[in-house]
Chains A and B, each alone.
Chain A
Amino acid sequence: TQLLEQSPQFLSIQEGENLTVYCNSSSVFSSLQWYRQEPGEGPVLLVTVVTGGEVKKLKRLTFQFGDARKDSSLHITAAQTGDTGLYLCAGAPSGTYKYIFGTGTRLKVLA
């Protein structure tokens, strides 16, 4: 079974703190997407990373694709309450058209 394991599963931090969320697999991915889902809403696509070692920034969010394209990380600087939500990584292992979602990280930022 091809899995995307995310860690931590849950994270509760104070506003202003930094955090990193990880997405790991034993499979190689041609690209990975990151989504954020707020309670009761659909996931919203944040970014796609394609090249091994690639770093993309979206305001206070920094996304990195591992050199071997088996893992990715999301770093949030100076978290805000609006960052609260479920973060999902997703992608299709290379050579397949099977798009899978990660296990998710539920982030709560406290004021």
Chain B
Amino acid sequence: EAQVTQNPRYLITVTGKKLTVTCSQNMNHEYMSWYRQDPGLGLRQIYYSMNVEVTDKGDVPEGYKVSRKEKRNFPLILESPSPNQTSLYFCASSLRGPYNYGYTFGSGTRLTVV
């Protein structure tokens, strides 16, 4: 089944403890992206990648890192999480970009930083 898999689904962590949210897609998509979704603010892009080893900042990149060493994986790294990073996170992929093809989204990771 074509899908984007994120792990974990739920995570509660403490301020400052480094964490990684994994994302993997099995559709050979070139374009991958991370979003966070907050009430009243909608979906905001954190980082995106147009292909292996090509990443760029989205609208809200502060406090996050990403890497794209393989086509299928696009992990999101929070080096020192803070409470304002409590949010619902989505990984998404697209064949060559969402502009014409739209996205396939993962099921989400609900992160709570205390």
Residues of A within 8 A of B4 (CB): 42
Q: How many A-B residue contacts, CB cutoff 8 Å?
A: 49
B108 contacts A30, CB within 8 Å?
no
B107 contacts A41, CB within 8 Å?
yes
Q: How far is the CA of A104 from the CA of B110 in the complex (A)?
A: 20
- For A97, give its contact among B43, B97, B107, B108 (CB under 8 Å): B97
Residues of B within 8 A of A42 (CB): 4, 90, 92, 105-108
User: How many residues from A make CB contacts under 8 Å with B?
Assistant: 21
User: Would you give the 0/1 interface string for B3-17, flagging 1 where the beta carbon is closer than 8 Å to chain A?
Assistant: 010000000000000
A102 → chain B closest CB, angstroms:
8
At the interface with chain B, which of A19-27, A43-51, A54-62, A76-84?
Answer: A43-51
| Contact residues, B63-114 vs A (CB, 8 A) | 90, 92, 97-108, 110
A43 contacts B99, CB within 8 Å?
no
| Contact residues, A1-52 vs B (CB, 8 A) | 30-31, 33, 35, 40-45, 48, 50
Q: How far is the CA of A88 from the CA of B90 in the complex (A)?
A: 15
Q: Sorted from nearest, which 5 A-B pairs have the closest CB atoms?
A: A42-B105, A33-B102, A45-B102, A92-B99, A99-B98
